[in-house]
A and B are shown apart, each in its own frame.
Chain A
Amino acid sequence: MSRLWADRLVVSIAPDSVAIARVRGRWRPRLVSRFYVQSEQPLEALRAALAPFGKTRLDAAVVLSNRFVRYVTVPFDADVSGAQEELALARFHFARVHGDRAKGWNVRVGDAPPGATRLASAVDADLIPSIRAAFAPIPGARLVSVQPYLMAAYNRWRATLAKENAWLVLPEPEGACLAYVTSDGWQAARTLRGADARGAALGEAMQRERVRLAVVSRTALVHGASTLTPAGWAMSRIAPARIEGHSSTEDSAWDMALCAL
């Protein structure tokens, strides 16, 4: 059987785990194989998991756990123009929040309509080269994307977020990300870690953000398996991508990776 396109490999990398799913087909994707491992050395685990693919032709997309990523909202500044100045402004805001350690970060700034607040992300400088190095020994694999979890989930469900005027909540085992976007741009993009990212503490963090930004909406869309039910909020679970051979309700470990489809 001839295939016009290579199979896709979608990978999620978190500080303590790696999930990989091989998917075939563009219009009706189906799961070919999958792999999940918990490891304190996720990049080593990724390298080992990729080895069997050898010369198999694959397009690989990686989704980074929000625990690897810092976000900052960058208010519109009419005096700033061009990509370099926008990047410098984002770096300034990261430094304002995180201090000198932000200097070496690898920063990306998203586009936004004129006047709207942008979203910027930052990762450690050596993270992307390390991911590229993990794929380098696999001659058939073409790394086509490395994107933060927030970017993947937001782009996939932005129509629903707009329709519901909802917050986006991305819970992870030891972290969570809250985001709220309007026609004026990114109003909130916060990552929480540890105890602040679970259960009642997460619900309180959501409420604090809502009050801080004076946002009326108490509707939240939650991606992935979660029992989050903060008082006074309407929580809906976002259905992950339908993949033949994969059940999201039973196999939520791959939800983050499958956002990249």
Chain B
Amino acid sequence: MRVVKLPRVELDYVAAPRRPRAAGIALLLASLICAGAVLERYLDARSATEDIAAARALLPGERRATRQRRSGDQMKHAQAVVGQLALPWAAMIRSVEKADSPDVALLQMEPDPRERRLRLMAEAKSEQAMIEYVRRLGLSSNLADVHLANHQILLEDPKRPYQFTALARLR
């Protein structure tokens, strides 16, 4: 005979009733699985990078030049990283989020740290939605000189969306 499971009874006059934790535990497990997958990909990528570096080091006649080129490349890379880190990411993202609209889908966001410019590629349901989106971007205190660089109507799409590029200068 199968033994039934009797649930708790909660009649406490002070403590809040205990609630089922299944959802929380399921979320924790899902998070751990995702974290494990990300860690595995990171380790694979790092291993591949090391393999490439080791293989290149073995190429004849290139070792000294490789070292000099590597240090120059590394310097440029480091400078690029520093430039990226210096961007006001939080302010940029806030400005873009504030302009968000259900009629506009943001496709790409390209900041240029050297020129301190931001390029946005997006798709709008209508011309009005596109113009309104660019206007709202222009209201942001973090962006200046916001303007529509180009746009086109995607005729092959039956909904005829407006695909456009907006440019702005980072303050």
Contact = CB atoms under 8 A, between A and B. Distances in A.
A151 B15 contact: no
A112 B7 contact: yes
Nearest to B5: A162
Interface string A105-145: 01011111100000111010000100010000000000111
Interface string B3-14: 111111111111
A256 B38 CA distance: 51
A191 to B, nearest CB: 14
B79 to A, nearest CB: 48
B17 interface: yes
B12 A151 contact: yes
B9 A119 contact: yes
B8 A144 contact: no
B12 A143 contact: no
Q: What DSSP secondary structure best describes chain B's contact surface?
A: loop
B6 A181 contact: yes
Interface residues of A, number: 32
A109 B12 CA distance: 9
A155 B9 contact: yes
B8 A183 contact: no
Interface in A64-109: 106, 108-109
B14 A146 contact: yes
A151 B10 CA distance: 7
Contact of A110 (B3, B4, B11, B13): B11
A147 B12 CA distance: 4
B10 A111 contact: yes
B13 A163 contact: no
B9 A151 contact: yes
Contact of A108 (B3, B4, B12): B12
Interface in A21-50: none
Interface string A140-166: 000111111011001100110111000
A206 to B, nearest CB: 20
A182 interface: yes
B11 A162 contact: no
A162 B4 contact: yes
A81 to B, nearest CB: 17
Nearest to A183: B4
A228 to B, nearest CB: 23
A146 B12 contact: yes
B13 A123 contact: yes
B6 A108 contact: no
A161 B14 CA distance: 26
Nearest to A128: B13
Contacts of A110: 9-11
B4 A145 contact: no
Of A111, A144, A154, chain B has the most CB atoms within 10 Å of the CB of A111
A119 B11 CA distance: 9
A121 B12 CA distance: 9
B3 to A, nearest CB: 5
B8 A143 contact: no
Contacts of B9: 110-111, 119, 151, 154-155, 186
A162 B7 CA distance: 10
A145 B10 CA distance: 11
Contacts of B14: 128, 132, 143-146
Central interface residue in B3, B8, B9, B10, by most chain A CB within 10 Å: B9
Given A110-B10, A148-B11, 8 more contacts: A109-B11, A110-B11, A144-B15, A147-B11, A150-B11, A162-B3, A183-B4, A183-B6
15 contacts: A108-B11, A110-B9, A111-B7, A111-B17, A121-B11, A123-B13, A144-B14, A145-B12, A147-B11, A147-B12, A151-B11, A151-B12, A155-B9, A159-B5, A183-B6
The 9 A-B pairs of least Cβ separation, nearest first, read A110-B9, A183-B4, A158-B6, A108-B11, A146-B13, A151-B11, A121-B11, A145-B15, A147-B12
